[in-house]
Chain A
Amino acid sequence: MGEKEQGVLKVAVIYPELLGTYGDGGNGLVLVERARLRGYEAELISVTIDEPLPDAQIYLLGGGEDGPQRRATEALHTDRSIAHRLNDGALLFAVCAGLQIVGISFAVEGGSRHSGLGLVPLETVRGEKRRVGEILVDVDGRDLVGFENHGGHTYTHDAEPLGVVKRGYGNDGVVDGVYQGGVIGTYAHGPVLAMNPWLADELLGHSIGHYLEEIETPADRLYEARRKAVRHSPRTP
C-alpha cells in the first residue's frame, strides 16, 4: 500500500447514530479485526454528525430509517469531502439505506424525492412492496449472502452492479448493489462483511494494496452454512 505501508489502516463508520439500524457497525469491526489478525495496525473511527469526515482508507455507510437517512445525506452534502476522498483512492462501502444515499436520488415513505450524493448513477424509487428476506448475489462467480429489508426499487442505469441476484430482490430483482469508482454497495444489510469474509478481505486487499494471506476464522463456517441455507430460501421475497 505504498506510503500507507507503515501507517495505520483507518476505517471510518459514518454517522452510526443515524445509520446503524441493523448492526451495521459490525462491518467496521470485521474489517479492523481481519486486518489486525494479519498483523496490520488498524483503527476503527466512529464519525458523529457534528464532526467533519476524518482521513480514512475505508468509509462505511449503514442503514437507517427515513428521517435519519435524509439527515445523514444532508450532512454529507454539507461536508462535501467524500467525492474527493474517493478520487484519492479511499473506498466507500454502503449497505441498505447507504446504497440509496450514494446514488443520484432516492424516495422515502410518502414518495417524496431527495437528492443523493451522486457518486454513482443509481436512482431509487419506492418499490411496490417491502422486500424482507434472505438474499444471495452472484458476484463474479462468488456468492454473497445476507439479509435485506427495504422498500426501495433501484434503477441501476449504466452503473456497474455488484452482482446478479439469485435469491431475494436487491436493486430490482435482477441485480444488486453497485461496484464502481471506489463505491461498493449492496442491499444485504447489517454486518454483511461478517457473513462474507471474502468480501471483507477484498476491501482490505484493495486498501492495503496487495494480496492478503488466507486466515481461518469462525466466519468461514458461518458463510458456508448461510450459503447452504439461503439456496433453499424463496427466489424473491
Chain B
Amino acid sequence: MSKSPSALGLRGRVAVRALRVVNATSRGLGRGSGTVAGGRVAMRIDEDLFRKLFVGRTVILVSGTNGKTTTTALVRAAIGGDPASNLTGSNMPAGIVAALSTNNSPTCVIEVDEPWLPTVMNAARDASRRAVVLLNLSRDQLDRASEVRQLAQRWRDHFTSIGSSVAWDVIANVNDPLVAYAVEPAAQVTACALPTPWHGDAISCPHCTKPIHFDEGLFGSWWCDCGFRAPHPDVLFDEGVRIDGVTYPLSLQLPGSFNAGNAAVAVAAAQRVGVQPSESIPRVNAVEDVAGRFGERMWKDQKFRLLLAKNPAGLAALISTVSEGSSPVVVSINANVADGRDPSWLYDAPFERLRGRTVWCDGTRALDLMTRLFYAGVDVRLTDDDPLFPRGLPSGEIIDVIGNYTAFAQWVKKSKAC
C-alpha cells in the first residue's frame, strides 16, 4: 500500500502482509478464490485494521438483496479507474478487508452483505467521503438468513443511531417500502425510484402492518393508510437517468429494466461523490458482462446467455426480461447450502408469465421446478431426460439460462465466453 502505511501503523502493516501470504497460499491450494481466510487472519492480528483501511479514502458501499454485484460493477465503471472492490463477491468483513488491502486506490466500491451493513458503515466512519447505495430487501435463502423485516429494522436502527454524527450520502431505492422504511431516519437521502417488480415482502406496512397499496407499473409508487408513503424521487429511470430534474440518456449493453435501474443508481452515486454523468454514462453504457452474467457464452456448440436469480424478486425481474422472446428457456435450480436448502420460494415467482414457452428444467431440484411450472401451465422438459441436450435447441439462437447461485456457477464453469 503506497498511501496508507501511516494510517495502518506497524500492527496494521504486519496484518496486511500476513493477509497476502495466507490468501496466496489459499489460492495455491485451490481453496476458493482466496480472499476470506487472509482477511480473517489479518483482523485477528489487528482488530482495528478494518477501520484503518478506510481512512482517507472515498467509499461507496452497495447493499440489498438483489443486484449488489452488478451494481457494484456499474458503480466501478461510473467512477472510472480501478477502485478497490471485492469483485469475487466476498461481501462480509474478511473479504472486504482483503479487497481493501490488495488495492490502494483512493476510491473503494464495496458490495456488502445486508446483515453486515451497520458493521461495515461503522468501519468506514473515518473515510474522507462516504456514500451507500441501498437497492432492495426481499426474502432470500430463507432457511438460514434472518427475516427480512428484521433486516430493515436493523438498518433503520443504525441510521437512527448515527444521526448526523457521520455524514453519509444515502442513495436508496424508495420504490421498495422496506428500504424506504430503513432510510427514514437517515440525514442525507437521495431517493431513487427504480424498477421493483416484486413486492412480496412489503405488502404489509413496516410501520403498522396494514396492507400497502401499490400503483401498477414498474415505476409506480405506494402508500399506506397510516400515512407512510413513497417519498418523492430525486432520481428515476425514464428514457434515461433523471437526476434532480435533468435527464441523461443511457444506452446500456446489459439487458432488462432492472439493470437500467442499477445503472441509474450507479450514475447517481458517482455524481454524489463528484463524478459527473457526462463522464460516467459512457463507461456505464460499455459494461456488457458482470462475472459471467449477461454476456454470450458457448457450451457444446450452443450459444447461451447466463442469468443469475437467487430468490423470487430476482426471478421476477429475469422472467419479465426473458418473457419477451419465444425461444426455449433453461432454468437451473439447486438447493445446496449456498442456495438455501429449500426451494419453496419457486412458488413466489411469477412463472405463469412463461406460458406458451418451453422451459427446460435443470439442476439438482429440477423436479421441484418442473412441478411448479406444470402447475403454472408452462410446457416443461427435463434436461436429465434428454441425453442429447442441448442438441435440439434452436442452434442459431442465444438461449437464456436462469440459474440460482450454485447452478449458475456450474453453468459459468462449463461454458466459455464467446
Contact = CB atoms under 8 A, between A and B. Distances in A.
Interface in A170-190: 189-190
Contact of B143 (A17, A25, A71, A147): A147
A92 to B, nearest CB: 20
Contact of B342 (A22, A49, A222): A22
A23 B149 CA distance: 17
Contacts of B150: 65
Interface stretch (A83-91, A118-126, A213-221): A213-221
A222 B211 contact: no
A137 interface: no
Given A22-B342, A30-B375, A191 B209 contact: no
Interface stretch (B12-20, B184-192, B365-373, B410-418): B365-373
B345 interface: yes
A147 B344 contact: yes
Contacts of B376: 29
A21 B372 contact: no
A20 interface: yes
Contact of B348 (A23, A134, A149, A218): A23
Nearest to A233: B341
Contacts of A222: 367-368, 370-371
B211 A194 contact: no
B24 interface: no
Nearest to B205: A17
A205 interface: no
B211 A49 contact: yes
A81 interface: no
Nearest to A49: B211
A183 B376 CA distance: 27
Contacts of A68: 204, 209
Interface string B337-380: 00001101111100000000000000000011011101110001
Given A33-B375, A65-B149, A23 B367 contact: no
Contacts of B210: 49-50
Interface string A104-117: 00000000000000
A1 interface: no
Interface in B135-160: 139, 142-144, 147, 149-150
B367 A26 contact: no
Greatest chain A CB density within 10 A among B144, B149, B368 is at B368
Given A26-B372, A194-B347, A71 B342 contact: no
Contacts of B380: 218
B344 A189 contact: yes
A48 B370 CA distance: 29
A222 B345 CA distance: 16
Greatest chain B CB density within 10 A among A24, A132, A194, A221 is at A194
Contacts of B346: 23, 26, 191
Nearest to B201: A21
B200 interface: yes
Given A22-B342, A190-B344, A65 B147 contact: yes
B211 A147 contact: no
Contact of A17 (B142, B211, B374, B375): B211
Given A21-B147, A222-B367, 11 more contacts: A20-B200, A23-B345, A26-B372, A49-B210, A68-B209, A147-B341, A190-B342, A191-B372, A217-B371, A218-B380, A221-B367
Interface of B: 139, 142-144, 147, 149-150, 200, 203-204, 209-211, 341-342, 344-348, 367-368, 370-372, 374-376, 380
4 interchain residue pairs of minimum CB distance: A190-B344, A26-B347, A23-B347, A17-B203
